[in-house]
Structure 1
């Protein structure tokens, strides 16, 4: 049995797979801000889903920047208590299995590239716009190592001196307008979000050179893409909240082949 975990800034998703191709049961809960509480809830949920069967391998996507050894977070603005904690080691002990850590947006990119909107494209650029903003580049079905830890959400793409995450993420919109993104219905606000996103995609397209850009995350669902003067292909993801978990399965497939 394989275990896939997606630790986001707001929600954590835990799933299992018998065949390595499809997901079985999935459990979703609010991500605890306390690290010890979080890893206990992840472990308890995983053991419940596995029904005491052996977990052969686990891959965990997590919202933040990983260290070189890919066993701990060095930066995680939305789950601060996770920073510098031995996440890989702790989960390996609690689950009695081999654990692999990866950035959550990178796994979501793999998921869409293998099973979703990017499966017929050679070079996929992926941005997820939710609590934060993350992304990755997938080439021929594999994460581009040159852009691992690139963190597009933490970069400047306009003259505003704000990072993309500070401009268009769910947390930024909440801080600015005191509303969750799904409660914001003013077209002026969403047109500005679309403009900020367009500037970022234009810049990213120069280095990533994707055949297609795929957008994931809850905020992306409300951005009026039809208003953008696009010269490249942009589409919404097809896997929704399961993209990170499906990407975990693709990740393990590549490790085991």
Structure 2
């Protein structure tokens, strides 16, 4: 469970099944017990799982069909999508083309998802002796995630744009995981605004490296804001 520790010692000998951590007098989760055992983050996710009526019978659901039924067609489609790289991030790949923004920003989002933008960390895999560090903040490894989210220059822009620390402080190993997480909580307009900001962050990074010019965070945010208003 994401590297966390399940505190099973909190459970007594009679608590061996899922229903044993429900409230005794109702079909609802014993939130305090669940969070004690699984931790705050996973505990909240578990408590958000609805508990069905007592008369309901469990059944097997095929996740890759909107009706939950397995068909050869849905299986074939799933295999094709998996082969194309949709795999575990199918929500992200479907959502990016529906973003209400400029086509070039949707294309940028696609490149971010595939992590094919030429960051230092990417260049070092094809060019020996290339410095993979970040020339702006001195970080040892300049990944795409660092460039768009973790670099102080990008964080300053995101902060001015009103993005709270909870959206940018959590640790991730890949950009697509971070963005897909946000897609689950943001509406399409907010997500489009975010990608416009990140697109401007990327352009600002390029101007800094190749032209020696880097604009202030407020200027970058204003550019992104104006672009969103014009679209």
The TM-score range, normalised by the shorter chain, is under 0.3
Q: What TM-score does the superposition give when structure 1 sets the normalisation length?
A: 0.23
Q: What TM-score does the superposition give when structure 2 sets the normalisation length?
A: 0.25
More helix by share: 2
Higher alpha-carbon Rg:
2
More strand by share: 1
